[in-house]
Amino acid sequence: MTAATQPAQSATQTATRIARQIATEIGASPAQVDAAAGLLDGGATVPFVARYRKEVTGGLDDTQLRLLAERLSYLREMEARRAAILGSIRDQGKLTDDLARRIAGAGTKAALEDMYLPFKPKRRTKAMIARENGLEPLLRAIQSDPSRDPATLAPAYVTGAIETPKAVLEGARDILVEELSEDARLLGSLRDFMRREAFISARVVAGKEEAGAKFSDYFDHREAWSGIPGHRALAILRAAKEEVVTIDISPDPDTGAARAERIVAQALGTIGQGPGADWLRGVAGWCWRVRLSNTMYIDLLTDLRARAHAEAITVFARNLRDLLLAAPAGPRATLGLDPGIRTGCKIAVVDPTGKLLDTATIYPFQPKNDLRGSEATLLALIARNGVDLIAIGNGTASRESERLVGDVLKRLPKGVKVPTKVIVSEAGASVYSASELAAKEFPGLDVSLRGAVSIARRLQDPLAELVKVPAGSIGVGQYQHDVDQRQLAKSLEAVVEDAVNAVGVDLNTASVPLLAHVAGLGPSLAQAIVAHRDQAGAFRSRAALKKVAGLGPRAFQQCAGFLRIRDGDEPLDASSVHPEAYGVARRIVSACGRDLRAVMGDAGALKDLRAEDFVTGDFGLPTVRDILSELEKPGRDPRPGFVTASFADGIEDIKDLRPGMSLEGTVTNVAAFGAFVDIGVHQDGLVHVSQLADRFVKDPHEVVKAGDVVRVRVTEVDVPRKRIGLTMRKDNADSPREAAPRKDGAPKAPHAAQAAPKGASGQGAFGSALADALRKR
């Protein structure tokens, strides 16, 4: 049986091939991939598999599992497409052994579609018409004897439908161009050539210089397609979308175009010399210029967009994870202040559990200037509610509001504990306040006051509050509205899910949005859990979850380990030990000869135990080690300790900055080119990647992450253009101009970076910054 007639590969063979490929990509074995795929196919969630099935998967972590799941979906879709293409060509009676082998060996969807092009049903083309008019024999005659002159052959093919020798040769050309355009090997060669040699160029559209001034760095820009960073590609793509520039992707015009034409001509085989050979080479060049160069442009533009989107989504996801896992201030009475000038400052006080206690609106600024009344209101709220923390939104008038709060705190009576004031990012607070969820939580509360509640709660527990805001509204990414929204949403949902399950959720206090992200649950089951809790009272054990309507055994298995019950009937319910492993935990405790509650949290009682002694057929060494670790520190929070940045007094506006100033600030965003830092002047300064450390830094995430408190020094200030250059270096390289050459040979860093406006969602914060921060990098 030949390759062309034998049936498609068996499901087992296909699965084996996929497992091998994924194993290579994620640094695992095919057996690990098979095991993980089986669990995911069976309905298991990534957090559950990563945490509670380490023996089965060989310890694959959540990052590997996410990539595995993504690639598994892609490769299975590709295998289904491969089978469909083979079936279609076989049904047409055109499947040869060589073609079948090449289709079987295609490694990407693009390669598969290249091979299918000649067999794909298509509308009527010029080449089809030329064939119908009997011109294919003319083309074959020219190819078989290139020494002959096509002009002498053409008259014999003139018919009523084709009246001139010129038209006859054009028809033969159309046939050859279509064949070349559907040659999978040629398309692959050209694509490889273009990926190596192509340049991307941008030129300003005449008359758009003023309107598109923010894209001025790309008015006459050219660089290698293969090396352009994603953030710069996104800037050019947006400029093109706004019709400020035109884009071209092509090889070097002096030498590259000729090389591309030669590659096309080589697809014709050895054609020798003569008039016919010259004609064939001319058609090859014409095919490149008219058809294939455009095909390559579209392919490379698509690839570039996908690559840039992937980089931007990765940046967004990493920053979101850092923000979600930022240090919580904890259960402390908190006053949230949403700054405002004309409409006043909105205030909400919440108790340690986040319950709303009090609200007010003060008008300390223009036009009312009720400073005395505002101070009195703040003093009363602090005293009446035992406020321990004051969260001040970082929007307009945030520093003025912080100064007001500082003055109020100085007037507190002696002996009264002075609350800690903290500037808090308010990104997304307005989105939450106007949401259906906020309306349900606070049906009688003014929308603006709901924002103050959110600001207070996100200081207490950033994760619990930020899950209520659509991830795209939190504002920790670049060009977030330009990228593939479906892929962005999928990636961010995975980040939120992993963050929530890494921390764990208090079953008796968690909101519906927080519970919805617990492995195995979702919005409907989360709602059912809260409804049951409201009706029956607090859960006394994890096992009581089984009484929730609609929550079956599989959902319980997936979610139970990530839910915590403090002071319940079962001590282990406060830990991350899964109920299925309680027996192993009790054996460990028995070996200590003490009560379970006494052992939990006592590392000394467990130090002499060997994990190997408690391994069973069902629970291997990784699980036993996890149980021992959890018994030492039950329900431990993986997030860091709570610290805050102290903004310098008197430094409230960009005009107050001077080169050389040493300031404390909070990292708000991290991009491939550096980190944005809030230093309390309403615009974030940029620490370029070359200024992050006294060593070469390839990836800024090696040094900082969103939420970090850092010490920076001002290097440059451009007030008219609102640009702030910062450095974290300690080697006296005060500006990028003085920085040592980079080890990779890249240019030195540019001058002061564009500041990021407060509240930017990644559009202004990154888009406007790129024009200067990345120039000639």
| Distance in angstroms (rounded) separating the CA atoms of residues 690 and 733 | 10
Contact status, residue 500 vs residue 506, Cβ threshold 8 Å: no
Parent domain of 397: 334-460
Q: What is the 3-state secondary structure (H, E, C) of 63-115?
A: HHHHHHHHHHHHHHHHHHHHHHHHHHHHHCCCCCHHHHHHHHHCCCHHHHHHH
- Same domain, yes or no, for 157 and 275? yes
Does residue 479 lie in a domain region? no
Interval 669-693: pLDDT, tens: 888 789 999 888 878 899 999 999 9
Q: 525 in a domain, yes or no?
A: yes
101 and 130 together in one domain: no
Q: What is the CATH number of the domain that holds 45?
A: 1.10.10.650
Q: Are residues 143 and 272 in the same domain?
A: yes
Q: Same structural domain for residues 373 and 292?
A: no
- The three-class DSSP label of residue 582 is helix
Q: Tell me the CATH number at 196.
A: 1.10.3500.10
C-alpha to C-alpha distance for 283 and 319, rounded to whole angstroms: 52
Q: Are residues 162 and 280 in the same domain?
A: yes
Domain boundary among 432, 460, 488: 460
Q: Is the domain of 110 the same as that of 142?
A: no
Backbone angles phi, psi at 717, to 5 degrees: -135, 125
- Is residue 710 within 8 A of residue 718, CB to CB? The reply is no
Rounded distance, CA 49 to CA 329, Å?
A: 30
User: Could you tell me how far CA 667 lies from the centroid of its own chain?
Assistant: 18
Distance between CA atoms of 104 and 9, rounded to whole angstroms? Answer: 9
pLDDT of res. 477: 67
- Kindly state whether residues 114 and 137 are assigned to the same domain: no
255 and 275 assigned to the same domain: yes
Q: Judging by DSSP bridges, how do beta strands 199-204 and 220-224 pair with one another?
A: antiparallel
Number of independent structural domains in the chain: 5
Same domain, residue pair 573 and 691: no
Q: Answer whether residue 577 is part of any domain.
A: yes
In a domain, 404, yes or no: yes
Place of tokens 């309680």: 582
Query: What's the start-to-end Cα distance of the chain, in Å?
Result: 59
Neighbours of 310 (CB within 10 A): 15
> Is there a domain that residue 312 lies in?
yes
pLDDT at site 251: 94
Instruction: Show the low-confidence residues of the chain (pLDDT under 50).
Output: 1, 3, 735-777
Residue 87 to residues 118, 120, 123, 189, 353: CA-CA distances in angstroms? 15, 12, 21, 26, 62
Tokens representing 696 are 């070469």
Last residue of a domain, one of 119, 140, 159: 119
Please tell me the predicted confidence (pLDDT) of residue 743. Answer: 34
**DSSP bridge pairs for 202:** 221, 247
- Dihedral sign for Cα 607, 610, 615, 620, please: positive
Q: Whole-prediction pTM value? A: 0.78
DSSP code, position 719: T
Q: What does the CA dihedral 398, 400, 403, 407 come to, rounded to 10 degrees?
A: -120
pLDDT at 7: 52
The one-letter amino acid code at 704 reads V
Nearest Cα to Cα of residue 459 among 390, 361, 558: 390
Nearest residue to 179 (alpha-carbon basis) of 268, 94, 92: 268
Residue 720 pLDDT: 83
Give the Å distances, CA to CA, from 60 to 46, 53, 574, 610. Answer: 10, 9, 25, 24
* Domain stop point among 84, 119, 154: 119
Q: Is 393 helix (H, G, I), strand (E, B) or coil?
A: strand
Read off the pLDDT of residues 505-558 as tens digits, 9 standing for 90 and up: 999 999 999 999 999 999 999 999 999 999 999 999 999 999 999 999 999 999
The verdict on 50 and 79 lying in the same domain is: yes
